[in-house]
């Protein structure tokens, strides 16, 4: 039995991964943005060990979640699943002055990784769209560029892949991998999404707990339990360090050595 924490698990793939893991007898801690969503989350998976609460669109909310995780943990695995999609029609600024998509999709997994007691395994939700991401830290907050929601999302998912591989390199004692779940009809994916919903939560759950040799690797990128190629920049150690340094400056917290 493993203890697994899944961010953004009030709905969609996070909740589905929690349901899979709980059905296999693992101890699952879920996460919701506020108390009202925490109630929905508890009702959706009553077997969950707990539901942590905090809005990942602010540094203060991320720190609240990390504190709760450290009080309830340690965990054998953390799945960084919370995310927002590609349909924001304009740049939404957060209370920290950052682009909403970047703060939730990139800075939150970075800061939670840095603050939560190191688990044995880390899984980061990426997307096939990461291959269209710009491997650049020139204007990651979209202050100078004309807003493009699909590009902002693709960039954020490239950065998630970079983060997974950077952590794999920095922390050799931790298995850190990224997952492309397929384009599936969750709230984010939309009703026309063509991929197989039943397979979409499987790979992240497998990477979190399985003793299968194919799952006990680090620095991998998977689609439906098979390795897949990534944007080449994801394996660029210089770019990885640049992203970590940028997130350190934004959050005021360095990734521990």
Q: How far is the CB of 213 from ligand NAP (least distance, A)?
A: 26
Q: Restricting to residues 163-202, which ones interact with ligand NAP according to CB under 6 A?
A: 181, 183-184, 186-189, 193
Contacts of 182 (CB under 8 A, 6+ apart): 128, 195, 196, 199, 200, 223, 224
Q: How many CB atoms neighbour CB 91 within 10 A?
A: 18
Q: Which is nearer to ligand NAP, 82 or 243 (CB)?
A: 82
Q: How far is the CB of 45 from ligand NAP (least distance, A)?
A: 12
Six-digit token string for 107: 């800075």
> Helices 149-170 and 108-115 meet at what angle, rounded to 10?
20
CA distance 227 to 221: 6
Residue 151 is a binding residue for ligand NAP (CB under 6 A): no
Q: Which of 2, 3, 4, 14 binds ligand NAP (CB under 6 A)?
A: 14
Please, are residues 160 and 84 in contact by the beta-carbon 8 Å criterion?
A: no
Six-digit token string for 244: 């970590």
From 75, 86, 110, 153, the catalytic residue: 153
Q: How far is the CB of 103 from ligand NAP (least distance, A)?
A: 8
Q: Which is nearer to ligand NAP, 1 or 36 (CB)?
A: 36
Which region, judged by CB under 6 A, interacts with ligand NAP, from 4-12, 134-142, 164-172, 233-241?
4-12
Q: Which is nearer to ligand NAP, 104 or 255 (CB)?
A: 104
Q: Restricting to residues 68-97, which ones interact with ligand NAP according to CB under 6 A?
A: 81-84
Three state DSSP letters for 47-116: CCCEEEECCCCCHHHHHHHHHHHHHHCCCCEEEECCCCCCCCCCCCECCCCCEHHHHHHHHHHHHHHHHC
Sole residue written with tokens 């769209």: 129
Residue 50 is a binding residue for ligand NAP (CB under 6 A): no
> Helices 237-251 and 108-115 meet at what angle, rounded to 10?
80
Residue 8 is a binding residue for ligand NAP (CB under 6 A): yes
Contacts of 202 (CB under 8 A, 6+ apart): 20, 224, 225
Q: Restricting to residues 93-112, which ones interact with ligand NAP according to CB under 6 A?
A: 104
Q: How far is the CB of 57 from ligand NAP (least distance, A)?
A: 4
223 is catalytic: no
User: Which DSSP letter does residue 18 get?
Assistant: H
Six-digit token string for 64: 């609240």
Q: Which is nearer to ligand NAP, 125 or 234 (CB)?
A: 125
From 86, 157, 221, 223, the catalytic residue: 157
Where does this chain bind ligand NAP (CB under 6 A)? 8-14, 33, 37, 55-57, 81-84, 104, 125, 127, 181, 183-184, 186-189, 193
Indicate which residues carry an active-site annotation. Answer: 153, 157
């Amino acid at each position: 039995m493993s203890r697994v924490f899944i961010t953004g698990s009030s709905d969609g793939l996070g909740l589905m991964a929690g349901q899979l893991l709980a059905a296999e007898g693992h101890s699952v801690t879920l996460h919701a943005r506020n108390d009202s969503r925490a109630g929905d989350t508890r009702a959706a998976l009553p077997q969950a060990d707990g539901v942590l609460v905090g809005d990942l669109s602010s540094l203060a909310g991320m720190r609240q979640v990390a504190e709760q995780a450290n009080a309830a943990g340690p965990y054998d695995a953390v799945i960084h699943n919370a995310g927002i999609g590609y349909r924001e029609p304009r740049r939404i600024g957060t209370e920290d002055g950052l682009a909403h998509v970047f703060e939730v999709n990139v800075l939150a997994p970075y800061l939670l990784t840095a603050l939560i007691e190191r688990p044995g395994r880390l899984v980061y939700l990426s997307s096939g769209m990461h291959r269209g991401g710009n491997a650049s830290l020139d204007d990651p907050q979209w202050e100078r560029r004309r807003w493009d929601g699909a590009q902002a999302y693709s960039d954020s998912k490239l950065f998630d892949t970079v983060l997974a591989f950077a952590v794999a390199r920095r922390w050799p004692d931790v298995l850190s991998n990224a997952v492309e779940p397929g384009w599936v009809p969750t709230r984010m994916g939309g009703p026309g999404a063509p991929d197989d919903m039943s397979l979409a939560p499987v790979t992240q759950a497998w990477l979190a707990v399985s003793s299968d040799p194919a799952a006990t690797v680090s620095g991998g990128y998977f689609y439906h339990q098979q390795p897949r190629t990534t944007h080449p920049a994801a394996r660029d150690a210089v770019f990885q360090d640049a992203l970590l340094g940028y997130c350190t400056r934004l959050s005021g917290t360095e990734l521990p050595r």
